[in-house]
Amino acid sequence: MNRYFIEFSFRGTRYHGWQLQPNAITVQQVMEEVLDMITGSRIKTTGAGRTDTGVHAKHFTAHFDSDHALFHQPENFLHKVNRVLPPDIAVNRIYRVLPEAHARFSALSRTYEYIVSLKKDPFGTGFSWYFPRHLDLVSLQQAAGKLSEFRDFTSFSKLHSNVKTNHCHIDLAEWRAEDGKLVFTVRADRFLRNMVRAMVGTMIEVGLGKITVDEFIKIAEARDRNKAGLSVPAQGLYLSHIAYPDCIRL
């Protein structure tokens, strides 16, 4: 049995995230149904992690095990699977990996982006959060620069998420201005549920002048979700990259 990684992107608008759920359409459900159909066999995928309802992915990875001949022909596979997948999901690569390689646990880092649109854009609806108020970019940058100093992100984690630890290591966090938008980029070894949206919601309060950078630091140090800001809407959030060690690829 061979193990494969598939890399794909999806528009999350009509999906309840990646992971299979009862009575809700998810990306994993659609992907597995298409893989089953084109191979005539049962393909069980394991994704790199969860995504919330409405969140997009520029780069998502899943693995599966199969001996089907189609997966030995990457170009043929990509052509067939993309013909069948709906327009809001596209497979970009498939490659064989070591039997012990894991889409979730082998990942070195994940990168997310959050897009805030400062002007009304009919072509950006569903792909950014429209927030037509002045935000101070310098203050946002100062707050983002503090995130790498923290390890416990309980203040920015969904309550009762049943994880063993709320510790994460952020090695990149920055805001940039881009054509009428503000884009927040953050990279870490792992993320908690709702973490990016809660961090952005709290930094927005810094950008509005409602709280200072020092108060933002105290919120993070409090390890109390009730002290942080509201979570921003899902449509502005993108999983943009997942990094893996080169040695897992065959």
Nearest to 51 by CA among 226, 234, 246: 234
What per-residue confidence (pLDDT) applies to 132?
A: 94
The parts of the chain modelled with pLDDT lower than 50 are none
Query: How far apart are the C-alpha atoms of 114 and 154, rounded to whole Å?
Result: 20
- Give the Cβ contact number of residue 78 at 10 Å: 17
36, 52, 67, 171: which is the annotated catalytic residue? 52
What per-residue confidence (pLDDT) applies to 4?
A: 97
- Give the Cβ contact number of residue 178 at 10 Å: 9
The answer to whether 117 and 131 are in contact (CB under 8 A) is: yes
- Give the Cβ contact number of residue 189 at 10 Å: 14
pLDDT tens, 15-57? 999 999 999 999 999 999 999 999 999 999 999 998 999 999 9
What per-residue confidence (pLDDT) applies to 174?
A: 98
Classify residue 163 as left (phi > 0), alpha (psi -120 to 50) or beta. Answer: beta
What per-residue confidence (pLDDT) applies to 160?
A: 63
What per-residue confidence (pLDDT) applies to 113?
A: 98
Q: How distant, in Å, are the alpha carbons of 12, 121, 126, 156 from that of 117?
A: 18, 8, 11, 22
What backbone phi and psi angles, to 5 degrees, belong to 70?
-60, -35
User: Is 152 considered catalytic here?
Assistant: no
Give the SS3 label for residue 187: strand
**Predicted TM-score of the model (pTM):** 0.94
Give the SS3 label for residue 63: strand
pLDDT tens, 209-239? 999 999 999 999 999 999 999 999 999 999 9
Instruction: Give, to the nearest 10 degrees, the angle between helix 213-222 and helix 137-146.
Output: 30
Query: How far apart are the C-alpha atoms of 149 and 152, rounded to whole Å?
Result: 10
Query: How far apart are the C-alpha atoms of 71 and 77, rounded to whole Å?
Result: 6
* Domains of the chain listed by start with CATH number: 2-105 (3.30.70.580), 109-241 (3.30.70.660)
